[in-house]
Amino acid sequence: MAGLTYRDAGVDIEAGEQLVERIKPLAQSTHSQYVLGSLGGFAGLCSIPSDIEDPILVSGTDGVGTKLKLAFELGRHDTIGIDLVAMCVNDIITVGAKPLFFLDYFATSKLDVDQGEAVVKGIAEGCRQSECALIGGETAELPGFYASGEYDLAGFAVGVVGRKRIIDGKATKLGDKLVGIASSGLHSNGFSLARRVLMEGDARLSLQSDFGPHGTLGDALLRPTRIYVKAAQIALEHGVHAMC
């Protein structure tokens, strides 16, 4: 047992360090004036905007479910991070919060630096779309835990809202108007059912099947979840009583 290293156990510390260096500028591209420090420490720091009266922190966590399988099968990992951010920030805006910062958890059996960088590129893009700072995360290399080339993702978003501006549905009344905003597709929900219907049911389609103006079926299914932060912020200026 003498001389065993992390590499012998299947954990590549150097690859982890290389990934951190690659994604630092990606995280930096999302930072606002409220972020303190940079990526790579044990904790991320962020101040609360001073112009919010009686600020309340709002948090949410989520993943992208079996939509990950599409990314694996298509070998495309640069948009799944957008889905991750969207699933988290789209939840916290329903109470009137403005996203403040985001953290991610990326776990895989063997770290592929290029793959990890592609995933974080998507996360950074999602953060920019939602004006949310990527201030930290965790990359876990778990030998033998996941199938080769596969990984799991989880995200954590924190936002802020003034106490008097919280949207909790209590102001809803008869006569209120219901406004719907078009989605970009399935988002990141119901993919197990979608695969069963489209690829295993009577349709028997493949990810390469033509899907008209949307490209292939794979293109249509992998389309990133729409982020509704900016639309929600505009709507909140016009007397919203509830969001879902």
Asked if residue 170 is part of any domain, the answer here is no
pTM: 0.92
Asked if residue 34 is part of any domain, the answer here is no
- Tell me 37's DSSP state: S
Own/partner long-range contacts of 229-237 (Cβ < 8 Å, ≥24 apart)? 229/89, 229/90, 229/93, 229/98, 229/99, 229/129, 229/130, 229/131, 229/132, 230/129, 230/130, 230/131, 231/181, 232/93, 233/93, 233/98, 235/179, 236/96, 236/165, 236/167
Percent of the chain scored above 90 by pLDDT? 68
Domain hosting 128: range is 13-28+55-163+182-236
Asked if residue 172 is part of any domain, the answer here is no
pLDDT tens-place string over residues 64-86: 999 999 999 999 999 999 999 99
Structural contact between residues 181 and 228, judged by C-beta atoms closer than 8 angstroms: yes
Asked if residue 124 is part of any domain, the answer here is yes
Asked if residue 37 is part of any domain, the answer here is no
45 phi/psi in degrees, rounded to 5: -120, 140
pLDDT tens-place string over residues 111-159: 999 999 999 999 999 999 999 999 999 999 999 899 999 999 999 999 9
Q: What are the residues facing 106 on neighbouring strands?
A: 139, 153
What CATH number is associated with residue 156?
3.30.1330.10
Asked if residue 19 is part of any domain, the answer here is yes
Asked if residue 40 is part of any domain, the answer here is no
Structural contact between residues 155 and 62, judged by C-beta atoms closer than 8 angstroms: yes
* Structural domains counted in the chain: 1
